[in-house]
Amino acid sequence: MKAVAFTLAGLLGLLGLVFIAGNQGQIMRVVVGLVLFAAAIALVVAVRLQPKIEQRNIVQNLHLTGDVSLEQMQCRKCGGKLSDESVKVQGGAVFVACPYCNASYQLEEAVKW
Ligand SMILES: [Zn+2]
């Protein structure tokens, strides 16, 4: 998409040059050439200013520090084995909802993103 815009800008600029270079006292050709040039520059600027659309993963992956892995995670209250379904990430914090004892608490384990 960017390459297309730059190619187009290049063509417009070139066309503008041709118009200006081929000028034989015709003010309109200069004007058209300048307009084409301006359009080329505007196109490049527009592409440059375009914010990068980053596709961020909305579903955040859990990366627990240390040797704690989801398989080894146990409920703090009852020691029941927690599956990834009982661990949720909200606002960068890890929340545990134990399916065995219905305990729910925030995991204090620091999370690496
Ligand atoms: Zn529990």
For 1-38, how does the pLDDT look when each residue is reduced to its tens digit (9 = 90+)?
Answer: 678 878 888 888 888 788 778 767 778 878 888 888 88
Distance from residue 103's CA to the centre of ligand 1 (Å) = 5
Domain range enclosing 90: 58-113
Residue 86 predicted with pLDDT over 50: yes
17 and 41 fall within a common domain: yes
Edge-to-edge strand order for the sheet containing 104-107? Answer: 87-90, 93-97, 104-107
Residues 13 and 62 grouped into a single domain: no
Looking at the fold, whether 16 and 34 belong to one and the same domain comes out as yes
Q: How far does residue 54's CA lie from ligand 1's centre (Å)? A: 38
Average pLDDT over residues 78-107: 87
What is the Cα gyration radius of the chain?
A: 30
Ligand 1 centroid – CA 97 distance (Å): 8
> Is pTM beyond 0.85 here?
no
Task: Give the Å distance between the CA of 19 and the centre of ligand 1.
Answer: 78
Residue 52 has pLDDT above 80, yes or no: no
Q: What is d(CA 62, CA 51) in angstroms, rounded to the nearest whole number?
A: 28
Give the rounded distance of the alpha carbon of 19 from its chain centre.
Answer: 40
DSSP class of residue 67 equals T
The SS3 of residue 107 is: strand
Question: What 3-state DSSP class applies to 76?
Answer: coil
Q: What is the residue-averaged pLDDT of the chain?
A: 76
Quote the number of domains for the chain. Answer: 2
Same domain, 68 and 44: no
Please name the residues in contact with 106: beta carbons below 8 A apart, sequence gap of 6 or more: 93, 94, 95, 96
What is the distance between the alpha carbons of residues 25 and 31, in angstroms, rounded to a whole number?
12
